[in-house]
Amino acid sequence: MDDSADRREVLRRMLTIREFDSTAGDHFADGEIPGFVHLYIGEEAVAVGACAAIEDDDYITSTHRGHGHCIAKGLDPDRMMAELFGKTDGYCNGKGGSMHIADVDANMLGANGIVGAGPPLATGAALTNDLQDDDRIALSFLGDGAVAQGQVHEAINLASTWDLPAVFLVENNQYGEGTSIHDQHNVETLSETAEAYDIPGFTVDGMDVTAVYEAVEAARERAIEGEGPTFIEAETYRYRGHFEGDPQEYRTAEELDQWKARDPIEAFRERLADTDDLSESEFDSMQSDVEQTIEDAVAFAEDSDYPDPEAAYEDVFDVRPPEISRFADRTATDGGKQR
C-alpha cells in the first residue's frame, strides 16, 4: 500500500469481494449454487489488508468464509464462481465447492469445513519454508470460534516453539456461528492468548484496512527474520448470517447498523478521496467495472459444464486403486443399477 495505485487496488479488491459475495448470495437463493454458502460481506478489510501485506508466493489457509481470502490472494472470480456452481471449470473442478475452494498454484491452501484445521496446516507450510530456507511465510486466517478448538493451540505452540515463519490472524466477527464470543471465551480480548506462547499478540480494528495491513506487515517482517509467529486479532463483523438462510435471532438490527456505520469500504473510500484524490466518478466507474467482472463470472459459471459423473472416482489417490474401479463398476456389487 505504498503508492496510490496500490491503495486503489486495495479498494477494488474489497469491492470485488462484496460484489462477488452478494451475487453468490443471490444465486444461492435462486438455487443455482448448491449446498450452503458463508459470506464475507463486512469483513473485507481483514482479507484485503492482510493479503496486501504479504508476497504472492506466501501461503495462506482459510476458513468456512473463504471467498474473501481467495479474491484478496488474487484468485480469478470466473473460476471461483464456477467452483461455487459445482462446474468443471472451477478451481477444484467442482469437487470442493464454496467450503473447500483452493488454488494450490496461488499457494492458497483451501477454505476449510473444520474451523480450527487451518492453523496446523499453516504451521506445516511454515515448517516447509523453514526447512527449504524459502523467504516466505504462511498466514493462517481463522475465526474467533476456532480459537476455542484444541488443534489451534497445538499449532501455535509448535510454531512458536520452533520460531516458524507463520502469522495467525483471527477474524473476530463477534459470533461463533450463532453464539456470542462472550459465551465462548473467558478473556477480554482473544489476542491475550498470545501471552501463553510468548509471542506478540495484539488486537486491531478489522474495519480499517490500513490497520490490518500494518499489523500483518510487521508480523511478516518478524516471521522472515526468524523470530517466530505473531497472533493478530482483527475485530470485525459479518453483515450476513453465519450461513445464508441463518435467521440471526441471536443479534439485533441496531447492533448490525452500528457496525455498518463503520463500513470498511466506505471508510477507505473516504480516506482515498482525501489523500489520493479519488473522485466520485472514478469510484463509480470502479464499482461498475467490478459489477461487470462479477456478472462475467456468473456467465462463465453458467456456461461451464458439470463434471462427468465418472470424475467422482478420480483424485482420491494419485493413481486410482483397484478397489475404486471394482466398486464403481456397479454390476459387481448391486446387479447393475443404472445411474
Partner 1 sequence: MSTQPDAGPDPSDTETMTVREAIRAALREELDRDGDVYLMGEDVAEYGGVLGVTEGLFEEFGGERVRDTPISEAGIVGAGVGSAATGARPVVELMFSDFMGVAMEQISNQMAKMRYMFGGKIEMPLTIRTTEGGGQGAASQHSGTPHTWIAHFPGLKAVTPGTPRAAKGLLKSAIRSDDPVFFFENKMIYEQDGEVPTDPNYTEPIGEARVEREGEDVTVAATQRLVGESLDVAEDLEGTASVEVIDLRSLYPLDTDTLADSLSKTGRMVVADESPLSYGVHAEVSARMVEDEFFSLDAPIQRVGVADTHIPFSPPLEEEVVPDAADVRAAVERVV
Give the DSSP H/E element, type plus range, for residue 267: helix 264-275
CA distances to 42, 45, 139, 247 from 208, in Å: 11, 6, 19, 28
Enumerate residues 6+ apart whose C-beta is below 8 A from 131: none
Cell numbers found for residue 63: 476458513
Cell numbers found for residue 296: 462475467
Candidate list 94, 165, 200, 264; residue touching partner 1; CB under 8 A = 94
| Under 8 Å between Cβ of 25 and 244 | yes
Candidate list 11, 15, 92, 294; residue touching partner 1; CB under 8 A = 92
Per rule CB under 8 A, is residue 154 in the interface with partner 1? yes
How do strand 175-176 and strand 179-180 relate by DSSP bridges?
A: antiparallel
Residues numbered 46 to 65 that lie near partner 1 (CB under 8 A) are: 59, 61
Candidate list 12, 27, 100, 251; residue touching partner 1; CB under 8 A = 100
Per rule CB under 8 A, is residue 122 in the interface with partner 1? yes
Minimal distance, residue 224 CB to partner 1, in Å:
16
Please tell me the distance from the alpha carbon of residue 217 to that of residue 53, in angstroms, as a whole number: 5
Candidate list 49, 77, 120, 264; residue touching partner 1; CB under 8 A = 120
Candidate list 2, 30, 318, 334; residue touching partner 1; CB under 8 A = 318
How do strand 230-235 and strand 166-172 relate by DSSP bridges?
A: parallel
Per rule CB under 8 A, is residue 104 in the interface with partner 1? yes
| Under 8 Å between Cβ of 338 and 309 | no
How do strand 230-235 and strand 179-180 relate by DSSP bridges?
A: unpaired
Per rule CB under 8 A, is residue 158 in the interface with partner 1? yes
**Which range, of 29-37, 113-121, 168-176, 267-275, touches partner 1 by CB under 8 A?**
113-121
| Under 8 Å between Cβ of 98 and 36 | yes
Candidate list 26, 55, 74, 161; residue touching partner 1; CB under 8 A = 161
Per rule CB under 8 A, is residue 147 in the interface with partner 1? no
Residues numbered 214 to 253 that lie near partner 1 (CB under 8 A) are: none
Minimal distance, residue 321 CB to partner 1, in Å:
4
Query: Which residues contact partner 1 by CB under 8 A?
Result: 59, 61, 90-96, 100, 102, 104-105, 107, 109-110, 112-114, 116-117, 119-129, 131-132, 138, 150-151, 154-155, 157-158, 161, 314-318, 321-323, 326, 332-333
